[in-house]
Structure 1
Amino acid sequence: MAGLITGEGATVDHTRVREAETYLRRPRGTTYAGRRARYDAAADRLYAAGISNTDILADVGAGWTELDVCLRVDWGWRGRYVPVDAWLDGVDLNQWTPPRSFDWFTALEVLEHLEEPERLVRTLQQHATKGVVVTTPNPQVWDVLAMDPTHVCSISAATLQNWGFQTGLLTFYGKHEDGIIGLWTR
C-alpha cells in the first residue's frame, strides 16, 4: 500500500499512522447520516461533471472512506476508489504528490488541516485528468480554527474561486450555508 500512496520504495511512517488512527478513533459528534450531506454534495458535483463507472477517484484525506460508501450504496457508482490517508501509510498531505494521474480527486474536509492548502490543490489539479472536488467549513459562519484542534487555516469561497473552483454554499454542520463545496474541471 505504501508504494501506491507515497511512491515506490517509500517507507511507512508508523508514528503518523498511529496519530491518524488516534484522530479517527476519537468520539465524534455526528453519525454517517449526519456527515452524509457533504458526501452527497460531492457525489452530486462529480456526477454533474461526468464521473463514470470506468473512472478512478482518489479520495485525499479519505478518513473512514465514507465517500466510497455513499458513491457505491447511494449513487450506484462502480468506478475504482483509491483512499489516500495517513492511517494507511503515514502520508503527510502537506508534502504529498500523487504517484500518478487519476481521473478525479476529492479532498473533503481536508484543506483546513494543511499549512499550505494551495500547494495540495495545485498538485491535485496538475494530476487530475477530469477534475477535483473539495469541501471546507465556511469561515463566514464558523470560527474554523476553533472547530477542531487540527485545523490550521480557513479557506473562503473567494479563495477557492481564485484557485479556479466553481463554488457553492451548503449546510454541512447544522448552520445555514456553513460549508463550502468547490468543483474544478479540466
Structure 2
Amino acid sequence: MITVGDRIQQCEQYIHQPRTPYAARKARYDAAADRLFAARISNYDILVDVGAGLTELDVCLRVDHGWRGRYVPVDGWLDGVDLETWEPPRSFDWFAALEVLEHLHNPGRLVKAMQQHATRGVVITTPNPAVWNVLAMDPAHVTPVSRDTLEKWGFTTTLHTFYGKYQDGITGLWTRAL
C-alpha cells in the first residue's frame, strides 16, 4: 500500500523530470483559459486546479489574462492526495484538470465528482489518442481519453496543437445548465 509520504515523494520525482519549457506547454493553459473566459469566469470565482503540478494554469490566468479570482491547487506533491479516489470537500465554481485524466485508471469517476461539485463548470485538457499513442507518451499515462468519451460526459470539445503534431490535444468544457 502506498503511504501519503510515498505519494508525495512520487509526485515530487515526477514533477522534477525533464520537460519542455513553460512557453512550449503554455498552449494548453491558454486553451483552458480561453474556454474559461468564454464561459465567463469572473474575478469573484474560485477555480480548483486538480492535478495542479507546477501551478502554471494560475500563472497563465493571472499574468497573461489578468484574472484575480481564487485559485486552489490540488496535487499529490502538496499533501499526498490520490486523484484516483479524491472527492472535492465541497462545491466550488470551477474545476480544471489539465493533462490529468490520462494518468488515472478511472478518469470518469473524477470527471463525475468534479461535475457534481462544480457550480459553474469544468475544463480539461488531454492528449488526443487519435493522433498520439497516449500510453507511449509517458510511463504514468494509463488511460487514453478520446474526444468522443469527453462528449459523452457532456463536454464541448475543441482540438489543439499542444505537443507538436496537428490537433494532438483536446480541450473540453462542461458548464452547469442554469
d(CA) in 2 for partners of 1:162, 1:35:
27
d(CA) in 2 for partners of 1:45, 1:170:
12
1:142 and 2:119 are equivalent in the alignment: no
Off by >6 Å, runs of 4+ in structure 1: none
1:123 and 2:124 are equivalent in the alignment: no
Match of 2:7 in 1: 16
Match of 1:38 in 2: 28
Match for 2:17: what amino acid? R
Match of 2:171 in 1: 181
Indicate which of 91, 97, 118 corresponds to 1:101: 91
Give the SS at the match of 1:141: coil
**Deviation at residue 15 of structure 1 after TM alignment:** 1.0
Structure 2, gaps ≥5 residues long: none
Structure 1, gaps ≥5 residues long: 1-11
**Deviation at residue 156 of structure 1 after TM alignment:** 0.6
Match for 2:60: what amino acid? C
TM, length-normalised to structure 2: 0.97
Match for 1:181: what amino acid? T
1:70 and 2:60 are equivalent in the alignment: yes
Match of 1:47 in 2: 37
Give the SS at the match of 1:140: coil
Match for 1:106: what amino acid? A
**Deviation at residue 179 of structure 1 after TM alignment:** 0.2
d(CA) in 1 for partners of 2:18, 2:31:
24
Indicate which of 61, 85, 98 corresponds to 2:51: 61
Give the SS at the match of 1:107: strand
Match of 1:153 in 2: 143
Per-residue displacement from partner, 1:63-111 (whole Å, max 9, x unpaired)? 0000000000000000000000000011000000011111000000000
The count of aligned residue pairs is 174
TM, length-normalised to structure 1: 0.93
RMSD value, Cα: 0.7
Match of 1:84 in 2: 74
Match for 1:129: what amino acid? T
Give the SS at the match of 2:126: strand
Give the SS at the match of 1:19: helix
Give the SS at the match of 2:95: strand
**Deviation at residue 36 of structure 1 after TM alignment:** 0.4
Match of 1:7 in 2: none
Q: What is the percent sequence identity of the aligned residues?
A: 71
